[in-house]
Amino acid sequence: MKQFSIVIAGGGSTYTPGIVMMLLDNLDRFPIRTLKLYDNDAQRQETLGKALGIVLSEKAPDIEYLYTTDPEEAFTDVDFCFAHIRSGQYKMRELDEKIPLKHGVVGQETCGPGGIAYGLRSIGDMIELIDIMEKYSPDCWMLNYSNPAAIISEACRHLRPNSKVLNICDMPVGTLRRMSQIIGKTPQDLEVRYFGLNHFGWWTSVKDKEGNEYLPEIRDYVSEHGYLTQIEVDTQHMDQSWQETHKKAKDLLAIDPRFLPNTYLKYYFYPDYEVGQANPEYTRANEVINGREKEVFSTARTILEKGTAEGSEFAIGSHASFIVDLARAIAFNTHERMIMIVENNGAIANFDNDAMVEVPCIVGTDGPEPLNQGIIPGFERALMYQQVTVEKLVVQAYMEGSYQKLWQALTLSKTVPSAKVAKDVLDDLIEANKDYWPVLK
Ligand code: NAD
Ligand code: G6P
Ligand code: MN
């Protein structure tokens, strides 16, 4: 079997160890000859880089391994780049969340003004990363988790239309795992139909391989409990705030009980509730810094102190399995069915061809082939059109350095109550992001 060479961009990410552990678990299905970590923050990456070096030397000493901040070393002779960078790191995520909240607006990593701010920071970094990859390994595929995926994928469509970049999200996978628990199946038993944008979509069908439909049964459960399940379903999406999110799906379902909602719709349907619940002094960024980040880095430090990874394992979850399955689908032409972010081109029949949408695809060596999701109802279509226009305006604002377009983007976002509030939030975001954003005129 062919052996692959992989670089993880954002080597210092809290998700890096989980993905490495998942790769090690899958060596018989997806053999690896080289694994490299790449980050632009040497210090942050070093702790994980060294600890994972110990893990690899114990579990898979034949894999050639290194971590580096040198693009040439990182990207020479690689088949896949798994990317999960965070432009501006957690200190900027914290501001993305806290600045809008100061104005009574949703403060979130990927939705509303926070997502827009993060998008304007990320576009340039992602394009640079793609160019580096293509310079040193022109045939390499980038499987990109970096957020905000909706805005990044629109930027890729515009600025690098021929690049081998696939933007993905683990939320549909994570929620499907919950659905499978609800009906006593495994996610592998199920095939779904789904339409929407990233962090903005709906399941229209959840069937087993024999064709039995489970949507009504799942709907009955969600109408009472949301996606909250009794059993520990994953290592991810388990913190208290995530439990609230899974529960809130109940109120999302109530708006259109025909379909099962993506949890992120709560920021658009119940922004007032979300703002009311939020603590403007302690947001999700703080929860992550004091939770996942501490956990991952303290596991790494324990491994370093003991000089062995025995007894201190990094956790793995559905986030890691999805990206590894995707790499396998491309590497071995498996034609697995996966939800991906792709250019619509008719997949949603009554939606713009040039919109980046999230739909099930068949994935093989040439990448994803979207499956037709038919005609969608007016309610969802109108919401999607509003949101996709926000995303397109952000990318245009980036390319043109246009204050006007960015103000329009914020004004159009369903999370923002007025053009006045949009302007106030925008002016604060500009100040906070002056080291990262293009100059806006
Ligand atoms: P993190 O801050 O722990 O890790 C990000 C790493 O990227 C950091 O080590 C940082 O130094 C590095 N980095 C930043 N800019 C870089 C650049 N230009 N080049 C190379 N490295 C760079 O963040 P995290 O919480 O682990 O999340 C990582 C990313 O994955 C975020 O963008 C997050 O939103 C995303 N994510 C996406 C999904 C999804 O569904 N698409 C799921 C989980 C996480
Ligand atoms: C989900 C989303 C990701 C997002 C993550 C945030 O998995 O699909 O796009 O990055 O949640 O999780 P966090 O734990 O960092 O708040
Ligand atoms: Mn996501």
Q: Using one digit for the tens of pLDDT, what is the confidence trace for 290-334?
A: 999 999 999 999 999 999 999 998 988 788 999 999 999 999 999
Active-site annotation holds for 170:
yes
State the distance from the centre of ligand 1 to the C-alpha of 402, rounded, in angstroms: 26
State the distance from the centre of ligand 1 to the C-alpha of 190, rounded, in angstroms: 30
pLDDT tens track for 149-185: 999 999 999 999 999 999 999 999 999 999 999 999 9
Residue-level pLDDT at 236 = 86
For residue 14, the ligand 2 atom closest to its alpha carbon is 15
The CB of 41 under 6 Å from ligand 1? The reply is yes
Q: How far apart are CA 172 and CA 169, in angstroms?
A: 7
Annotated catalytic residue within 170, 325, 424, 428: 170
Residue appearing with tokens 């993060």: 118
pLDDT over 90 (residue 230): no
State the distance from the centre of ligand 2 to the C-alpha of 95, rounded, in angstroms: 17
Beta bridge partners of 358: 341
For residue 237, the ligand 2 atom closest to its alpha carbon is 14
Residue-level pLDDT at 100 = 99
The answer to whether the CB of 14 falls within 8 A of the CB of 293 is: yes
Residue-level pLDDT at 316 = 84
Active-site annotation holds for 264:
yes
The CB of 373 under 6 Å from ligand 1? The reply is no
Q: How far apart are CA 155 and CA 394, in angstroms?
A: 9
Q: How far apart are CA 90 and CA 86, in angstroms?
A: 8
For residue 145, the ligand 1 atom closest to its alpha carbon is 41
The CB of 18 under 6 Å from ligand 1? The reply is no
The CB of 297 under 6 Å from ligand 1? The reply is no
Poorest-pLDDT segment among 98-102, 134-138, 226-230: 226-230
Annotated catalytic residue within 214, 227, 264, 267: 264
For residue 41, the ligand 1 atom closest to its alpha carbon is 11
Distance, first Cα to last Cα, the chain: 54
Q: How far is CA 369 from the centre of its chain?
A: 20
Label residue 256 exposed, middle or buried (CB < 10 Å: 0-12, 13-18, 19+). middle
pTM exceeds cut of 0.95: yes
Pocket test for ligand 2, best of 89, 96, 151, 169 (most atoms within 8 A of CB): 169
pLDDT over 80 (residue 232): no
Per cent of the chain over pLDDT 90 is: 97
Handedness of CA 65, 67, 68, 74 (dihedral sign): positive
pLDDT tens track for 59-91: 999 999 999 999 999 999 999 999 999 999 999
Residue-level pLDDT at 44 = 98
Ligand nearest to the CA of 124: 1
State the distance from the centre of ligand 3 to the C-alpha of 59, rounded, in angstroms: 30
The CB of 13 under 6 Å from ligand 1? The reply is yes
Q: How far apart are CA 38 and CA 267, in angstroms?
A: 33
Residue-level pLDDT at 317 = 78
Pocket test for ligand 1, best of 15, 52, 68, 86 (most atoms within 8 A of CB): 86
Per cent of the chain over pLDDT 70 is: 100
State the distance from the centre of ligand 3 to the C-alpha of 192, rounded, in angstroms: 18
* Amino acid at residue number 192: V
State the distance from the centre of ligand 2 to the C-alpha of 293, rounded, in angstroms: 13
Residues 6+ apart with CB under 8 A from 212: none
Atom 38 of ligand 1, nearest CA residue: 145
State the distance from the centre of ligand 3 to the C-alpha of 359, rounded, in angstroms: 14
pLDDT tens track for 20-46: 999 999 999 999 999 999 999 999 999
Residue-level pLDDT at 225 = 98
Task: Using DSSP bridges, classify how beta strands 32-38 and 367-370 pair: parallel, antiparallel or unpaired.
Answer: unpaired
Q: Which residues line ligand 2 (CB under 6 A)?
A: 109-110, 147, 169-171, 284, 288
Q: Where are the beta strands (DSSP E) in 262-379?
A: 336-343, 356-364, 367-370
pLDDT band at residue 428 using 50, 70 and 90 as cut-offs:
very high
For residue 110, the ligand 2 atom closest to its alpha carbon is 9
